[in-house]
């Protein structure tokens, strides 16, 4: 890309910091982090279609590290993940082909950025409302109603504490979020995680780990589709991946030291902040968008690391007192 060749030192630094920050946030929230990375790349000067394709490639690689870590922590429901992948693969293809068709007529930015704004702001506000209204891991009314749907075949998800749910409900979530993954260049975890929490009724930490497995497959498939049309900057993706591989380890461990309600609240604020940055970009206030986006990444990453360090220090203090 022109941005990398014009100012390589600044580009490498910015991309590495983006990768590290999104690695921490992605593993902590159970998302690919593309809802931050794609707008960030667009702010840095990447055309939207290249921002989407490059981020999908980076996201697929990063998710491998985060998934392995969450597997060791026991945070993955593999049965649910398989059903999500079953629905997401055709969804990703439909979304990617839609974007490529829009690019041919020069309408990508016209449609993608407004959809980003609406989806990010809506999801952020809904999650923020849910974190205030609900406590603990109790299943919401929507989850209970869907749990009573008896559309065969039915499946149990014992690792998530769900005795019976229709396969079509889980696969349907995969299909819808797969389309958004291909259309917006995201893992769609910022939609899928809330869906797993409030629609299916998964515990927070299981939803996080399970979503990362799905992102691994949808991200890889999406990057393949964009790569075949020449819309992936491999150099930028690899630079971000180096930072993300370190950040993912920190974020995954942090989920074991922060209460579930705190994870959901911080996630909602992150999604909302990103939505604001996209709005600023849309009205051509690029500096404001960059300040909000990179400031948000720094603030959220610092908060996660601080909470992890504080928890570890407290555990060590208690261990010393017991001796």
Kindly list the domain boundaries of the chain, sorted by start residue.
2-322
Q: How far does the chain reach from its first CA to its final CA, in angstroms? A: 58
CB 166 within 8 A of CB 173: no
- Which string of b and e fits 21-58 if b means at least 16 CB within 10 Å? bbbbbbbbbbbbbbbbbbbbbbbbebebbbbbbbbbbb
Q: Which of 261, 274, 200, 225 shows the shortest CA–CA distance to 34?
A: 274
Tokens (6 digits) for 136: 């603990």
Q: What pLDDT is stored for residue 2 in this prediction?
A: 46
CB atoms within 10 A of CB 215: 35
Tokens (6 digits) for 4: 């990398």
Q: What pLDDT is stored for residue 3 in this prediction?
A: 47
Q: Which of 274, 290, 233 shows the shortest CA–CA distance to 119?
A: 274
Q: What pLDDT is stored for residue 33 in this prediction?
A: 65
Q: What pLDDT is stored for residue 148 in this prediction?
A: 62
- Which helix H or strand E contains 232, and what residues bound it? none
pLDDT above 90 covers a percentage of the chain that reads 0
Tokens (6 digits) for 10: 């600044």
Q: Which of 54, 19, 34, 36 shows the shortest CA–CA distance to 231?
A: 54
Any idea what DSSP says for residue 158?
Answer: G
Residues of the chain with pLDDT under 70: 1-8, 30-35, 109, 130-149, 185-189, 260, 323
Name residue, tokens 């979503």: 211
CA–CA distance from 126 to each of 115, 134, 181, 194, 314 (Å)? 16, 12, 20, 9, 33
Rounded to two decimals, the pTM is: 0.64
Q: Coil, helix or strand for 162?
A: strand
Task: Report how far residue 323's alpha carbon sits from residue 152's, in angstroms, rounded to the nearest whole number.
Answer: 56
């Amino acid at each position: 890309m022109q941005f990398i060749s014009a100012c390589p030192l600044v580009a490498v630094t910015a991309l590495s910091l983006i990768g590290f920050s999104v690695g921490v946030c992605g593993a902590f929230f159970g998302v690919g982090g593309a809802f931050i990375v794609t707008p960030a790349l667009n702010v840095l000067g990447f055309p939207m279609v290249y921002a989407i394709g490059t981020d999908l490639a980076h996201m697929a690689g990063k998710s491998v590290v985060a998934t392995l870590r969450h597997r060791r922590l026991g945070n993955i429901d593999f049965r649910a993940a398989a059903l999500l992948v079953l629905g997401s693969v055709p969804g990703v293809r439909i979304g990617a082909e839609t974007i490529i068709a829009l690019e041919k007529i020069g309408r990508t930015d016209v449609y993608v950025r407004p959809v980003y704004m609406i989806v990010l702001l809506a999801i952020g506000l809904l999650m923020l409302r849910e974190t205030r209204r609900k406590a603990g891991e109790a299943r919401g009314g929507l989850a209970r109603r869907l749990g009573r749907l008896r559309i065969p075949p039915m499946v149990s998800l014992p690792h998530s504490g769900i005795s019976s749910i229709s396969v079509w409900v889980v696969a349907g979530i995969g299909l819808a979020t797969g389309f958004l993954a291909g259309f917006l260049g995201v893992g769609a975890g910022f939609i899928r995680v809330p869906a797993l929490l409030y629609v299916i009724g998964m515990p927070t930490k299981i939803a996080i780990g399970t979503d990362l497995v799905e992102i691994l497959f949808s991200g890889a498939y999406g990057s393949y589709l964009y790569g075949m049309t020449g819309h992936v900057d491999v150099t930028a993706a690899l630079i971000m991946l180096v930072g993300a591989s370190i950040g993912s380890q920190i974020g995954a461990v942090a989920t074991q030291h922060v209460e579930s309600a705190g994870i959901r609240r911080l996630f909602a604020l992150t999604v909302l902040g990103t939505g604001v940055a996209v709005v600023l970009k849309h009205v051509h206030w690029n500096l404001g968008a960059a300040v909000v986006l990179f400031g948000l990444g720094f603030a959220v990453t610092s908060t996660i690391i601080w909470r992890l360090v504080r928890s570890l220090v407290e555990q060590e203090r208690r261990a010393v007192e017991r001796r």
